[in-house]
């Protein structure tokens, strides 16, 4: 009986020891956590939303900044190092050195902006993208005399074709991505401006465009479903910069002429052409017909009067009359040189509580 009591006491003592060790482990883990708070801003002091904050050496321990640029992160110690990154800005590494309240300012990285593309659900680097996407920045539009975005796309992106279906002034050009994909369905690509689907691009000022991206294959357009089967055109507009209002005025003047017009005949050339035509018709009517001279009489129905109208009472001598009559070039009279001009004014400004 005494041995049983001793054994029970030993088992109970070991259980208490294990429980104590477990509690000590949890306590040590809790003591190792250090709460770090901070804010992420750009050089103008504007909060950066969605910046990545990761503890260096611990890839799984990270967070993102909120709508005000604030973040909270638990790290191993107050000697840890965190890395802050955001698309379009240079990565920044910050050592805590005992501090638990950080203010991080990221510098813009303009060289990497061309490598970033929008794919519908976010932004990724072009080097990490496996789908077919073409991008054009505002630099490709500036300085060109274009009044609408469809003109700006002409000949700029691979696999994107633009054409005019009629000569109506101001009509938007038809855009096809990688050719016509359906005989019965629409071949017009889906157009998205700043995340909002629109019917056309005619309402977007080319000067307000920051970038145009075209999603061309099924993998890139899959997020848009059947509506993106003919391709997707993503348009991002320029954002106002914080500071004093900025006024921009753009203007251009130009002239337009019709090209590829046919060369008009003179009255003498027209008479000679019709004479040869009548002669050929006379010879083909009957194999027995002969034509001794260019002025050989033909049936009266083929004769022409001085006003160049069919007249059975005229004779062939009238072909050579009035050869010096003045001609009217109706193409030149109707199609004139057109003067065109365009003027655009924009105002942008941004503050803590507004953006225009």
User: Which 3-state string (H, E, C) describes 94-162?
Assistant: EECCCCCEEEEECCECHHHHHHEEECCCCEEEHHHCCCCEEEEEHHHCCCCCCCCHHHHHCCCCCCEEE
Binned at pLDDT 50, 70 and 90, residue 236 comes out as: confident
Looking at residues 286-311, what average pLDDT do you find?
A: 48
CATH number for region 132-238: 2.170.130.10
7-21, 78-92, 152-166, 207-221: least confident range = 7-21
Rounded to two decimals, the pTM is 0.44
Binned at pLDDT 50, 70 and 90, residue 221 comes out as: low
Q: Which CATH number fits domain 17-105: 2.60.40.4130, 3.40.50.150, 1.10.150.120, 3.40.50.300?
A: 2.60.40.4130
Instruction: Provide, rounded to the nearest whole percent, the portion of the chain with pLDDT above 70.
Output: 62
Binned at pLDDT 50, 70 and 90, residue 171 comes out as: low
Distance between CA 105 and CA 90 in Å, rounded? 10
CATH 2.170.130.10: which residues of the chain?
Answer: 132-238
64-73, 256-265, 301-310: least confident range = 301-310
Looking at residues 33-47, what average pLDDT do you find?
A: 88
93 or 134, which is more confident: 93
85 or 2, which is more confident: 85
Q: How many CB atoms lie within 10 A of CB 290?
A: 9
Looking at residues 313-324, what average pLDDT do you find?
A: 51
Looking at residues 290-314, what average pLDDT do you find?
A: 47
Binned at pLDDT 50, 70 and 90, residue 345 comes out as: confident
146 or 313, which is more confident: 146
Q: What is the mean pLDDT of the chain?
A: 71
Helical (H) or strand (E) element with 52: strand 52-55
Q: Which of 302, 337, 328 is nearest to 316 (CA)?
A: 302
Distance between CA 259 and CA 274 in Å, rounded? 27
CATH 2.60.40.4130: which residues of the chain?
Answer: 17-105
Residue 280 DSSP one-character state? H
Joined tokens for residue 253 = 């003047």
Binned at pLDDT 50, 70 and 90, residue 39 comes out as: very high
Q: What is the pLDDT of residue 288?
A: 61
Binned at pLDDT 50, 70 and 90, residue 111 comes out as: low
Q: Which residue has the tokens 């009509």?
A: 171
Binned at pLDDT 50, 70 and 90, residue 308 comes out as: very low
Distance between CA 49 and CA 70 in Å, rounded? 8
Binned at pLDDT 50, 70 and 90, residue 286 comes out as: low
pLDDT at 338 over 70: yes
């Amino acid at each position: 009986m005494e041995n049983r009591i001793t054994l029970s006491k030993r088992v109970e003592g070991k259980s208490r020891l294990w429980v104590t060790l477990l509690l000590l482990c949890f306590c040590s883990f809790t003591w190792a956590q250090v709460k770090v708070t901070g804010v992420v801003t750009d050089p103008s002091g504007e909060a950066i939303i969605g910046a990545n904050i990761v503890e260096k050496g611990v890839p799984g321990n990270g967070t993102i900044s909120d709508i005000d640029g604030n973040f909270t992160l638990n790290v191993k110690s107050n000697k840890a190092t965190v890395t802050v990154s955001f698309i379009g800005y240079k990565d920044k590494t910050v050592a805590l050195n005992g501090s638990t309240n950080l203010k991080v300012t990221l510098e813009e990285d303009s060289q990497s902006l061309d490598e970033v593309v929008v794919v519908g659900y976010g932004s990724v680097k072009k080097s990490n993208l496996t789908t077919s996407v073409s991008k054009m920045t505002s630099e490709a539009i500036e300085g060109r005399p274009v009044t609408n975005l469809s003109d700006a796309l002409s000949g700029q992106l691979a696999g994107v074709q633009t054409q005019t279906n009629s000569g109506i002034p101001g009509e938007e050009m038809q855009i096809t991505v990688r050719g016509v994909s359906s005989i019965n369905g629409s071949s017009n690509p889906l157009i998205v401006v700043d995340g909002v689907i629109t019917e056309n691009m005619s309402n977007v000022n080319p000067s307000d465009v920051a970038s145009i991206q075209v999603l061309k294959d099924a993998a890139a357009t899959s997020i848009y479903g059947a509506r993106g089967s003919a391709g997707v055109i993503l348009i991002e507009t320029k954002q106002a910069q914080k500071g004093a209002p900025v006024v921009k005025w753009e203007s251009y003047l130009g002239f337009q002429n019709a090209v590829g017009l046919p060369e008009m005949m003179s009255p003498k050339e027209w008479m000679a052409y019709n004479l040869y035509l009548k002669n050929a018709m006379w010879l083909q009517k009957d194999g027995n017909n002969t034509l001794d001279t260019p002025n050989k009489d033909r049936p009266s129905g083929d004769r022409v009067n001085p006003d160049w109208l069919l007249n059975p009472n005229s004779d062939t001598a009238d072909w050579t009359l009035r050869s010096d009559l003045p001609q009217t070039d109706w193409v030149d009279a109707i199609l004139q040189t057109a003067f065109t001009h365009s003027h655009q004014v924009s105002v942008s400004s941004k503050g803590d509580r507004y953006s225009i």
